[in-house]
Structure 1
Amino acid sequence: MTQHKQKRDIRWLLSLLPIIIFIASLAFSWFTAYHYSANILDSDASSEMILAKMLSENNSILSTDWIYSNELRVIHTNLVFAPLFKIFTDWHTVRFVGILIMQSIYLLSYYFLCRQLKVSRRSFFLTAAILILPYSIAYGRIVLYHNHYLMTITMGFLLSGLYLSILDRWKNKDKRLSLGIRITLLLTISLLSGLNGVRSLVVTIAPMFLTSFIILLQDESNLDSSQGIAFLEKWKGVILTLGMCVFSVIGYLINSKVFQQIYSFRSYDDATLGFNNAENSSQAVLGLLSQFGYQASRPLFSIGGIVALAGLMAAIYIVGQGISTVFSKSRITSQNASVQFAGVLFVASVGVMIMSFCLEFGEKHYLLYLIPVAVLAIPFVAVLMDQTASSDPVPTKHSAKGVLLGVVFLSLFANGLYGNAYFLHPDKVKGTYNGLGMQDVNMVNKLSNVVDFLESENYTLGYSTFWTCNIITEMTNGKINMAAIQVDAENQRVYHYDWLTAKHFQDESFVEEQKVFALLTDVQSKTVLETTMYDYAVLVYDDGNYNIYDFDFPVAPYYAMSE
């Protein structure tokens, strides 16, 4: 009896282990978020805070005074950060609390998808632990802690979950009202995703259409005309996803044709067909493999090198399993339907994104653009775990597939822990702060003395190149506004850089009321020396990395850049 009780207690403790792992991972992620939100910034991320502050002051969700980037995103971080500025005045607090809220929404959307995929509680908590950790440094930077793609992925989870719930209720012949509400919600979110730009269409909706079509072809019962299956019953998945595509395209057309007449942003309308040569294709493949922790720059025989190699092996396994679902000849049943959907969707998303690289639309950031599609590997791993567990009660002992999945989980989990360790101690832990063009993880530390000087001198408006400027505003709690400039060494010119900045920073009437400075590196200063801006500039600070110039009168830089 005692032995039986001990076994029962052990089983109970083991059943709690996934929950414990998830809670510990969430706590570690939030601890890292607190450090990250104050110590690791870039101008892209800080621009979101500046915009949110402007929107909060104007009680709006979009601004005609803001110069956006390649997309105008209606459903974005501003919906969280802007209200927080009504509550908190400290920008660090706003960023930290905003990260917690957005990560919570992210996890809830993942839970909703897992429910529709019929993922077990064990597999949900284990894979959610991976999802909340930076299993690649780029994923941690772009999604978890700067939240750039978090809303895109969240909407993708919601759309996928709603789609599955509609198919399930359709099959079970649920009430028409319940089904109608879900379909309306699905199409509404598709429309909203289109209002955010083209990204969700490429990342989620077009791949879902492709997935529904592939699964239709795989399901032999749908192709057996002798069963007399009604057209709508056979093609319901394709029809639903086609409707999603239509509504998303409508949203995108509103974004690119209507909003662009009101707001300032660039679009992908000028994209043209091109061709992915061998070099570009290899970069795309490397970008995909790097999503799971692989970084070529790490020493092999080090902790960083080992976990990076483990991440590479995990990536190869997951991609291989995904491809096998696309070409699977097994009849689709209730037992394998979730695996087929998650696997085909993952491969379809990666395929559509890589095909989009054939378009000529400017610089291609392979690693960056593949982040939101690679995240779809996580629910795929969850359903694979359940499939293995259901076919073998003790997969880690008797099933090669179970052992491999265990290794995949440990590889991604180890990379997640390593990623957070890197963010907490970038000077001690080997890694590359990749994902965007600016890869300096120590910008806040490098600019701390600069900020102290600027605040002590009561400056209110500065000029600097893009990757520096918005960080200054966030570090000074919004006290110092920054206008981005471009230093053109070839033509010996300095001019305004219209990217993620407020328009009124370039207005003469605004500038003449400010105490103005220019912040430049030593190299940039040499170019400025050859322009008319230097005629009115006085060097007031030099720390070996950055120079600060004061001006005889506030509008001197404005006039110099207007020539």
Structure 2
Amino acid sequence: MAACIWEWLIENEEVKKIDRIMVATLFSVCGAVGYRIYSKVLAQKYNFDSYSSISFINVNDEDIGNRVVKMIAAVLETISGYQSGTKVFSLAGISNCFVVGYIAIIFMMTLYIGMKGKKHFLFYTYIVMLVAFNTFIMLFTDVGFSSGVFVSRYYGLALTFLFFIIPIYCEVEANNRKKIVYMACIMISLVVDSFVNTLQIQATDLNVGRRGAITYLKNNDLNFGYATFWNANVTTELTDGEINLAPICSAKSMKSFEYLMKKEYLNIDYIDSTCFILLTREEYNDEKECSVIEGGRKEYEDDFFVVLTYHNSEELYGLAANDN
């Protein structure tokens, strides 16, 4: 938004130079206010990662070429719906061809603007530099990869700015026929890709294994408990906040997994009524001999999840203290 407004100010001859300075100052003030809110309000209530701990990778120990290939594959899947491992002559494979096609068109538009476009050059430079900077950060720091897997969702946010290239290109390109062809190709590709992905999403319920445990918790008015990270917030989301879960590292340790967690959950006396712990079948089997599981009352189990209940959170943490 800041780049858009600044671009308009640069091109608008009627805007006085002093007004541009005032707007630039306003941006700085807004940034300072935002940081103050982050550090004094949000940071006091929530735990989240910051970028202060970023470090560069050891290039001698890393295969840069392999990192580039993983980035390309993950980015295709993140921003375009590209599906790896599909057969070429299948519905998903045909969709992949359209995906690669419209990404190639956007790339060609970017090159054309760089060579021919003087209009909107500031905004164009901002977009290109934003993507280039994020590419560098993802490749040469420990932000982009986790246990050898590229975390594409961080990079995908920067790449969405590339879609602003399309309206800039339409203003720069004088050949209307070429613009129509390019836009038609992009629209057809997006429609085909969206159609194929929608069909596959509708045919697959990734949360089917959670339904039984969630139904039990709702029917028995169990509205607060604990679960490992990938099962805590998901359950809260699927129940529209009716059931709240505090993320933990494991049942044995009962150590809080503080990422995206409300700070009041850190209080071991947070709830003075019946609470529960929700474990996957694998988590339950791996730690079934720990005090938390042995001391809990097994109220529900199926092929996917196990629910154990406790009189209150103090009892639960007291059992965990036996193993720690």
Same fold (TM over 0.5): yes
Which of the numbers 182, 201, 206 marks the counterpart of 2:23?
182
Closer, same or farther in 2 for the Cα pair 1:377/1:479, shift >3 Å?
closer
> How far apart, CA to CA, are the structure 1 residues paired with 2:240 and 2:185?
44
Contact 1:159 1:190 in 2 (8 A): no
Hey, what does 1:541 align to over in structure 2?
A: 300
Q: Residues 296 and 478 of structure 1: is their aligned pair in 2 closer, same or farther, counting only changes over 3 Å?
A: closer
Pair 1:456–1:174, CA change in 2 (3 A): closer
Secondary structure class of the residue paired with 2:129: helix
Contact 2:247/2:258 (8 A) holds in 1: yes
- C-alpha deviations, 1:145-183, integer Å up to 9, x for none? xxxxxxxxxxxxx112111112123xx253456445533
2:265 match = 505
1:502-528 C-alpha deviation (Å, 9 max, x unpaired): 2333423323x1212221111111123
The whole-number CA distance in structure 1 between the counterparts of 2:311 and 2:195 is: 52
Distance 1:479 1:366 in 2: 30
Instruction: Indicate how the Cα distance of structure 1 residues 349 and 465 shifts in structure 2: closer, same or farther if over 3 A, else same.
Output: same
Partner of 2:135: 354
Asked if structure 2 preserves the Cα contact closer than 8 Å seen for 1:521 and 1:546, the reply is yes
Distance in 2 between residues matched to 1:289 and 1:471, nearest whole Å: 25
Change in 2 beyond 3 A, CA 1:403/1:192 = farther
Kindly indicate whether structure 1 or structure 2 has the higher relative contact order, using CA contacts under 8 Å at least 6 residues apart. 1
Corresponding letter in the other structure for 1:167: I
The corresponding residue for 1:270 is: 53
Q: Which runs of 5+ in 1 are unaligned?
A: 1-157, 196-250, 428-440
Partner of 1:297: 85
SS at match of 2:270: helix
Deviation at 1:477, TM superposition (A): 4.5
User: Which residue, 184, 193, 217 being the options, matches 1:454?
Assistant: 217
Equivalent residue, structure 2, for 1:221: none
Q: Report the counterpart of residue 316 of structure 2 in structure 1.
A: 557
- 1:126 corresponds to which residue? none
Distance 1:553 1:376 in 2: 48
**Structure-1 separation of matches of 2:29 and 2:195:** 37
Distance 1:383 1:417, change over 3 A: farther
Residue in 1 that maps onto 2:274: 515
2:158 to 345, 369, 373: 373
CA distance change for structure 1 residues 501 and 319 in 2, over 3 Å: closer, same or farther? Answer: same
Query: Could you tell me whether the CA contact under 8 Å between 1:533 and 1:560 is conserved in 2?
Result: yes
Q: Assess, with a 3 A threshold, how the Cα gap between structure 1 residues 460 and 506 changes in structure 2: closer, same or farther.
A: farther
Q: Against the structure 1 CA distance between its residues 262 and 515, is the aligned structure 2 distance closer, same or farther, given a 3 Å change threshold?
A: closer
Please, what TM-score do these two structures have when normalized by structure 2? 0.81
User: Aligned equivalents of 1:192 and 1:296: distance in 2?
Assistant: 43
Q: TM-score, normalised by structure 1?
A: 0.49
Shift of 1:547: 1.1
Asked if the contact 1:294–1:311 (Cα under 8 Å) also holds between the matched residues in 2, the reply is yes
Partner of residue 234, structure 2? 471
Name the aligned partner's letter for residue 263 of structure 2.
Answer: K
Instruction: Work out whether residues 483 and 505 of structure 1, in 8 Å CA contact, stay in contact via their aligned partners in 2.
Output: yes
Distance 1:289 1:548, change over 3 A: closer
Whole-angstrom distance in 2 between the partners of 1:377 and 1:266? 26
SS at match of 1:269: coil
Match of 2:70 in 1: 283
Paired residue secondary structure (1:519): strand
Q: Which amino acid aligns with 1:499?
A: Y
CA distance in structure 1 between the partners assigned to 2:253 and 2:27 by the alignment? 50
CA distance in 2, matches of 1:307, 1:341: 34
What secondary structure does 2:250 align onto? strand
- Consecutive unaligned residues of structure 2, counting only runs of 5 or more, are none
Q: Deviations over 1:111-154 (max 9, x none)?
A: xxxxxxxxxxxxxxxxxxxxxxxxxxxxxxxxxxxxxxxxxxxx
Cα distance in 2 for partners of 1:177, 1:346 equals 26
Q: CA RMSD in A?
A: 3.1
Deviation of the 1:302 alpha carbon: 2.5
Contact preservation (8 Å) 1:469, 1:484: yes
